[in-house]
Amino acid sequence: MFDYQFLKSADPEIYESIVGEIQRENNTLELIASENFVSPAVTQALGNVMTNKYAEGLPNKRYYGGCKFVDIAEELARERACRLFDADHANVQPHSGAQANTAAFLALLKPGDKFMGMNLAHGGHLTHGSPVNISGIYFHVIPYGVRKDTGYIDLDEVEDIARREKPKLILAGASAYGREIDYAAFRQIADETGAKLMADIAHPAGLIASGLIKSSIPHAHITTTTTHKTLRGPRGGMILVGSNGENDMGITTPKGKVKKWSEVFDSAVFPGAQGGPLMHVIAAKAVAFKEALEPSFKEYSKQIISNAKTLAQALSDKGYHIVSGGTDTHVFLVDLSNRGMTGRAAERALENAGITVNKNMVPFDTQSPFVTSGIRLGPPAMTTRGMKEEQMRIIASLIDRVLSDLENEDVIRTVSKEVTELCRQFPLYDVPD
């Protein structure tokens, strides 16, 4: 599938590391909710000569000559992104989700301004106000969280905090939250309290593009996302502005000039937060968006949700505590505190058995982020391999066997063999010679 003839002779060490990674991806069960396997077409677009090209600016408005062909790629990416999300405007240049969020903050906040983001320990992301991230260092973050009794976002709390604190921005979105987010309710709270609404749909973007869960686009002033999770594109970020008339209404800049929202966000990406865009990655984003516009992608997204529900239910049936009792999306958290083990110990044992997950804090966790009381699971990558409900039940039982006897090397060895066999039945990538 992949041709590495030049790399193999030019740099055997890097070649070997890539072959090792192909084998690891082929032979392990990838349950990290934020990972996926891109198509061969996406990897080919990624490995192309557009990496050579400087293209600061936007299509047909560049600071460099020679942009005729990269303009074609970026226009296709932008137009496809707008069709996919029913958006008015897309900026496909952010190098990552974190860069997209930084650009959004730059456009909407000044240092020291208040914004509300979901508590990291309740499922929020590092870029939503963590004290070690620019979002928490430069801005005054007021966190909101989930209800202890239900595990669902506490919209009453969001409203109370917003009325009291009058933040400039409310950020709706999460990294470890399996329930649908009610963007319309967030927008209502934002309007009532004079805040702008930013949505970060990095995790469920593919499910939103498929029309299976509620979209942020009609409600949020700005939506940011990654392109590599459920959307199954190359590693990267994107900013979307909704087709709700908001874009045309514009925003008054500090100098009193009225600009379209899209113009403000475009200049926050470049020159605000980045230099030259990664044109090879943008070409690969365009390919992934084309794939996501196919009817088969909607079937894939439906299968992800069904697989996630099945996996969560099968673990729950075995006595595992699923935060919020299940999932509406592709991801859920398992709280292991009733099993007498930490997330770190579970992650290690599962990795030794060939099952890749990540430790994760659970709401109201008493452990540190390096230890945690939970693990986060999601089947987007395994669904790409073709696995369905039957395999999710098998995976739940493999996980249970490892976690029920954490220190037992024999169990880990036997499960590891079964993992390899299961992977063999769902081939992924050819290994180069």
Half-sphere exposure of 101 (CA within 13 A, CB side): 28
Three-state SS at 91: strand
Radius of gyration of the chain (CA): 22
The correct pick among 97, 178, 206, 380 for binding ligand PLP (CB under 6 A) is 97
Query: Is residue 202 near ligand PLP by the rule CB under 6 A?
Result: yes
What stretch of H or E contains 140? strand 140-144
Token pair for residue 1? Answer: 């599938």
Contact map string, positions 50 to 79, toward ligand PLP, x by CB under 6 A: ------------------------------
The correct pick among 200, 246, 263, 291 for binding ligand PLP (CB under 6 A) is 200
d(CA 172, CA 122): 13
Query: Is residue 98 near ligand PLP by the rule CB under 6 A?
Result: yes
Query: Is residue 151 near ligand PLP by the rule CB under 6 A?
Result: no
Nearer Cβ to ligand PLP (46/396):
46
Q: At 301, phi and psi to the nearest 5?
A: -65, -40
Three-state SS at 253: coil
Edge-to-edge order in the sheet of strand 358-360:
321-322, 332-335, 374-377, 358-360
Q: How far is the CB of 174 from ligand PLP (least distance, A)?
A: 6
Nearer Cβ to ligand PLP (109/174):
174
Q: For ligand PLP, which stretch binds (CB under 6 A), given 97-105, 277-285, 305-313, 361-369? A: 97-105
Query: For residue 98, which of 214, 230, 227, 281 has the smallest C-alpha distance?
Result: 227
The correct pick among 34, 133, 210, 215 for binding ligand PLP (CB under 6 A) is 34
The correct pick among 125, 187, 196, 376 for binding ligand PLP (CB under 6 A) is 125
Q: For ligand PLP, which stretch binds (CB under 6 A), given 195-203, 208-216, 276-284, 399-407? A: 195-203
The correct pick among 91, 96, 301, 313 for binding ligand PLP (CB under 6 A) is 96
Q: How far is the CB of 88 from ligand PLP (least distance, A)?
A: 22
The correct pick among 168, 203, 219, 359 for binding ligand PLP (CB under 6 A) is 203
d(CA 50, CA 42): 14
Catalytic residues: 54, 56, 200, 226, 229, 235
Q: Which of residues 9-28 bind ligand PLP (CB under 6 A)?
A: none
d(CA 69, CA 426): 37
The correct pick among 123, 173, 206, 363 for binding ligand PLP (CB under 6 A) is 173
Query: Is residue 36 near ligand PLP by the rule CB under 6 A?
Result: no
Encoded amino acid at 121, one letter: A
d(CA 420, CA 413): 11
Q: Which of residues 222-241 bind ligand PLP (CB under 6 A)?
A: 226, 237
Edge-to-edge order in the sheet of strand 114-118:
87-91, 237-242, 222-226, 196-200, 169-173, 114-118, 140-144
Token pair for residue 29? Answer: 């069960």
Q: For ligand PLP, which stretch binds (CB under 6 A), given 177-185, 200-208, 369-377, 397-405? A: 200-208
12 exposure class (CB count in 10 Å sphere: 0-12, 13-18, 19+): exposed
Binding site for ligand PLP (CB under 6 A): 34, 96-98, 101, 125, 127, 173-175, 200, 202-203, 226, 237
